[in-house]
Chains A and B, each alone.
Chain A
Amino acid sequence: MVRSIRNLFRVQRPLDRPATWGDAVVLVTVFAVIYVGAKLAAGARSVIQGPQISLEPAALPAYAAMSLARMAGAYVLSLVFTLVYGHVAARNRRAEQVLIPLLDVLQSVPILSFLPVVLLSLSAVLPQRLALELAAVVLIFTSQVWNMTFSWYQSLRTIPEDLQEAAAAFGLSRWQRFKTLELPFATIPLVWNSVMSWAGGWFFLMAAEAFTVGKRDFRLPGLGSYLRKAAEDSNSHAMLVGVVALVALIVLLDQLLWRPLLAWSNRFQLSAVAGEVKPTSWFYDALRGSRIVRLLSERVLRPVLLGVDELISRGLGGRAEPAERHEGLSPIGYVFSVGAGAALAYGAYRGAVMLFAVPAHQWASILLGVVATFGRVIAALAIAFSWTVPFGVLLASRPRLGALAQPLVQIAASIPATALFPIVLLFLLRLPWGLDAAAILLMLMGTQWYLLFNVLAGASAIPQDLRYTSLLLPLSRWQRWRVLILPALFPYLITGAITAGGGAWNASIVSEYVQFGGEGKSVVGIGALISHATAAGHYPLLFAATLSMILTVVMVNRLVWRRLYRVAERRYRME
């Protein structure tokens, strides 16, 4: 269990990567793309009519199905993207120099900050419903894809050399190499990252389905908009039913899809590690035990797969060369690179022009907003730290209590915070400083679990002999924490905080400006500024604010977290 949790919440990223010329290209690309989005956004209609949401429980299955379809669509997209992108990055050294920094930056950027730009620009060029659906899928995709891609890339780069040589020496074709070597080797991390991505995706789906600013109603029929509508109508029955439906959907998927996949993927373990608990799944065991399923898989599935295999083999046959990495560019790649470079340069130039159009007082409010939101992020992290550290250590040291709390914690963690946010608003908005409190609460709800699970993993990783030693030595409680527990937790806390911090910035987009029951409310913050700019159609401001937020997060990651992480890796690693 502990291993599974650790795998689930460990962020895979190239943390110790020095800055390269690739980073510059990436930053310019992000800059240019947001500019194009902001430019397109100008064409969006100023009034967007939202859908009618029915609070009838009978309507729920359809809403759940629509939400699920968006998730599934985004996931399939992510998977395809992952396989292609990771392969190119792993095999072509030149491409790798741009593709990996791009992954790295996009992984740490608050994805939700893209939401307004994506929504506006898509609805300017596409029919409304299609644009909104696409925006939701794109948003989920951008939240899911990076860690999956990185894990696939990492796997491709770490395939043991003897297996690669065997594949080459025995003349496996490209398709065979993919099927018998690359994919099996990458399966375990890929499945774990899929589980993680899927869980994260709900957060963004719920936000996207319930997004409204000013006269622009971007809502989509789904569980997110259902919960929002229920909260706006103060319909407590509907709120309850909605939350139960959402949790049921999430738990069901976990039990019927992800757990079985995890249990199945375990067969791709390179070597059995002693003392490691294998992921198990009752559903998977039931499937394997079932005679009908076996019959189906032998009579139908296997022949079909064999047929597909033969077909692809014929198409992709031919002996693969030893997996050498390509150094340079083909002529087409060269032309493409030059073209893309020129387009980027032009986009960046136009973007800079747009930035200069932002007046000084707006820059001042951006600065103020960044500082205010930063303050909230720190507050949320501080609160999260203050309860998760003692609680996590307690759970880890009392196995019985831990076993009892585990399922509850997991279910609580599985509910996307954005789904509950309307309900939180319903109660908090009546209080003074209510929206401030709500904004911090949403950040907290979205991030505390990352910390808790990391604390749990860290506390359980303390070797038993050290634990005994600290008990045998007459160490005071405080000394025990200072000498043993905190140093042991440190790397885990940093990892947790990096993820949590990213989540908190995301939350600011939907929590600092809310439109609830017909009236809009906002607090000072960069998230509120982005939403205001979206509502009012101040596209240069939208561009500048989005960019500022992304830059702030990237800088904080580079300057603070990575350094701490390096210290953690060097000094506090348990081996």
Chain B
Amino acid sequence: MSGNGTLLELRNIRQVYEGRFVAIENMNLVVRVGEFVALLGPSGCGKSTLLRIITGLQRPTSGEVLYRGQPTVSVNPRATIVFQTFALFPWLTAADNVEVVLKARGIPRLVRAARTMDLLDKVGLDGFENAYPRELSGGMRQKVGFARAMAVEPELLCMDEPFSALDVLSADSLRGELLELWLEKQMPTQAILMVTHDIEEALFLADRIVVMEKNPGRVIADLPITLPHPRNRKAPAFLQRMDEIYALLAGQTQPEAIEVGTPPGEPGPTRLLPHVPMGDVTGLLEHLAESPVATHDIYRLADEIGTDSDRLLRTIEAAELLGFVTIGKGDITLTPLGETMAEASIQGRKDIMATRVRRLPIVAWLLTMLQRADAHLLEADVIETALEWTFPSEESQRQIATLIDWGRYAELFSYDEERKVFYLEPARTAQVPKE
């Protein structure tokens, strides 16, 4: 299998949490020498976990990581990682942060100082050797992160959303600089593997985009990108690839029964509520309603609304789940209900939301439990425990937070933050229509 030029190979990687929740399912991936691969997917698809498995920081539940054909057993000394949060030691200067890595590699003291300066020079940080991370801007901190990673002289450079904690301008310039170092072969690196949730970023940098989907995390597409560098984000060919990837990730609106799934605890997949505040959904609907055309390209929306692709996709998912929009082939279309919603008054929106949210199985399930409960009151802990049969505990907490937001917006039930209980207000339990 691992023929010429194969650097890294993942074979049937599977990651399971708490014995039953599959985070990554049957993952296979080959990275060859000279490739810049982007792992693209929504948050929660396990792509960061995958990066930790690849570098040896974490061991998968099953499956094999082969590096140059050899199975890896612990931290891979020829791979390194650039962190989203930079992960610099705050009490060490820029130079010391780099030097400590050289020291860990056993490089003699006299060589270290010169090499450190060299590395900082390369990323354009000369003059900032003695600055502490807190004195540097986000972009400069990440440059230290790159210099430190290069100090390992890695064959495989892994990057975990390296630009997502930066402001737009710094991220842009840093991407350009990284690309320059990579394309001009100024680093000893043989291949780059970058995790990202930003479609445009992946398309701008990578030679290959591996698209992942969540629940469970898996590969849904492996797209070679042959656009020549430097890539123009407004070029038709670039936009066409954007459209294509958005289409993959946004999916296709399914018949309602499949779309909404089954209640927790019953057979069939339970649909996760996308973690989106209701305000975002109504904002999206208003934006769509304002424009004269009925159907939009999703990839254009990110720019228009001023949000990143990950959040946009989540908002679209919520709007689709509630039946306000339909998705197909990378396009989004407002349904008649969505149009009504966009134009309705505040109370009108709440009424529409009440009927839409109520038909989601997970909400209906919660309402039934509340109806049956003493005093129509349930502790959040109870709900969380019940949900933990279906979801990992972190996801259960997210689901509860979303349930609270949506339920409050639709005035289906109330939540008391102090006592941490869900309850039905008396008027609503008797189904008395409100004035």
Q: Which of B57, B85, B103, B418 contacts A169 (CB 8 A)?
A: B57
B87 at interface, CB cutoff 8 A: yes
Cross-chain contact A162 with B100 (CB below 8 angstroms): no
- A270's nearest neighbour on chain B, judged by CB, is B90
Given A165-B81, A171-B77, answer yes or no on A180-B57 (Cβ-Cβ < 8 Å): no
Chain A residues with Cβ below 8 Å from B134 are: 269, 271-272
Cross-chain contact A322 with B89 (CB below 8 angstroms): no
- A313's nearest neighbour on chain B, judged by CB, is B103
Cross-chain contact A268 with B91 (CB below 8 angstroms): yes
Cross-chain contact A321 with B74 (CB below 8 angstroms): yes
Cross-chain contact B87 with A163 (CB below 8 angstroms): yes
Chain A residues with Cβ below 8 Å from B103 are: 176
- A268's nearest neighbour on chain B, judged by CB, is B91
CB of B95 to closest CB in A, whole Å: 14
- B145's nearest neighbour on chain A, judged by CB, is A166
A482 at interface, CB cutoff 8 A: no
- A165's nearest neighbour on chain B, judged by CB, is B57
Chain A residues with Cβ below 8 Å from B75 are: 168-169, 171, 319, 321-322
Chain A residues with Cβ below 8 Å from B57 are: 165, 168-169, 322
Cross-chain contact A169 with B100 (CB below 8 angstroms): no
Given A184-B91, A322-B75, A571-B418, answer yes or no on A165-B83 (Cβ-Cβ < 8 Å): yes
B432 at interface, CB cutoff 8 A: no
CB of A368 to closest CB in B, whole Å: 43
Chain B residues with Cβ below 8 Å from A270 are: 90
Cross-chain contact A171 with B105 (CB below 8 angstroms): yes
Q: Which of B80, B104, B148 contacts A173 (CB 8 A)?
A: B104
Chain B residues with Cβ below 8 Å from A176 are: 100, 103-104
A181 at interface, CB cutoff 8 A: yes
Chain B residues with Cβ below 8 Å from A268 are: 90-91
Chain A residues with Cβ below 8 Å from B74 are: 321-322
Cross-chain contact B104 with A169 (CB below 8 angstroms): no
A478 at interface, CB cutoff 8 A: no
Given A169-B75, A171-B104, A322-B75, answer yes or no on A267-B81 (Cβ-Cβ < 8 Å): no
* Separation of A26 and B82 alpha carbons in the complex (Å): 44
B27 at interface, CB cutoff 8 A: no
B152 at interface, CB cutoff 8 A: yes
Q: Which of A162, A173, A181 contacts B83 (CB 8 A)?
A: A162
Cross-chain contact B90 with A170 (CB below 8 angstroms): no
A430 at interface, CB cutoff 8 A: no
Cross-chain contact A169 with B81 (CB below 8 angstroms): yes
Most A CB contacts (10 A, CB to CB) among B57, B74, B84 go to B57
* Separation of A165 and B101 alpha carbons in the complex (Å): 13
CB of A176 to closest CB in B, whole Å: 6
- B103's nearest neighbour on chain A, judged by CB, is A176
Chain B residues with Cβ below 8 Å from A162 are: 83-87
Cross-chain contact B104 with A172 (CB below 8 angstroms): yes
| Contact-residue bracket for chain A | 20 to 34
Cross-chain contact B83 with A269 (CB below 8 angstroms): no
B326 at interface, CB cutoff 8 A: no
Cross-chain contact B52 with A170 (CB below 8 angstroms): no
* Separation of A180 and B91 alpha carbons in the complex (Å): 8
- A265's nearest neighbour on chain B, judged by CB, is B91
CB of B229 to closest CB in A, whole Å: 29
- Mask, A172-188, CB within 8 Å of B = 1, is 11001000110010000
* Separation of A322 and B52 alpha carbons in the complex (Å): 11
Given A165-B81, A321-B74, answer yes or no on A170-B104 (Cβ-Cβ < 8 Å): yes
- Mask, A444-455, CB within 8 Å of B = 1, is 000000000000
B55 at interface, CB cutoff 8 A: yes
B92 at interface, CB cutoff 8 A: yes
Cross-chain contact A269 with B100 (CB below 8 angstroms): no
Give B91-142 interface residues, CB cut-off 8 Å to A: 91-92, 100-101, 103-105, 109, 134
Q: Which of B80, B81, B109, B418 contacts A570 (CB 8 A)?
A: B418
Chain A residues with Cβ below 8 Å from B89 are: 163, 166, 180-181, 184
Give A246-275 interface residues, CB cut-off 8 Å to B: 267-272
CB of B374 to closest CB in A, whole Å: 22
CB of B61 to closest CB in A, whole Å: 15
Chain A residues with Cβ below 8 Å from B148 are: 170
CB of A545 to closest CB in B, whole Å: 43
* Separation of A171 and B102 alpha carbons in the complex (Å): 10
Given A165-B57, A176-B100, answer yes or no on A170-B152 (Cβ-Cβ < 8 Å): yes
Cross-chain contact B90 with A169 (CB below 8 angstroms): no
Chain B residues with Cβ below 8 Å from A306 are: 109
Chain B residues with Cβ below 8 Å from A269 are: 90, 134
Chain A residues with Cβ below 8 Å from B90 are: 268-271
- A163's nearest neighbour on chain B, judged by CB, is B87
Chain B residues with Cβ below 8 Å from A170 are: 80, 100-101, 104, 148, 152
- B81's nearest neighbour on chain A, judged by CB, is A169
Q: List 23 A-B contacts (CB under 8 A).
A: A160-B87, A162-B86, A162-B87, A163-B87, A163-B89, A165-B52, A165-B83, A165-B87, A170-B80, A170-B101, A170-B152, A171-B75, A171-B152, A176-B103, A269-B90, A269-B134, A272-B134, A306-B109, A319-B104, A321-B74, A321-B75, A322-B57, A322-B75
**Chain B residues packing against A (C-beta within 8 Å):** 52, 55, 57-58, 74-75, 77, 80-81, 83-92, 100-101, 103-105, 109, 134, 148, 152, 418
Inter-chain pairs besides A162-B85, A319-B104, 13 sampled, C-beta below 8 Å:
A166-B83, A168-B75, A169-B81, A170-B101, A170-B148, A171-B77, A171-B101, A171-B104, A173-B104, A270-B90, A272-B134, A319-B77, A322-B74
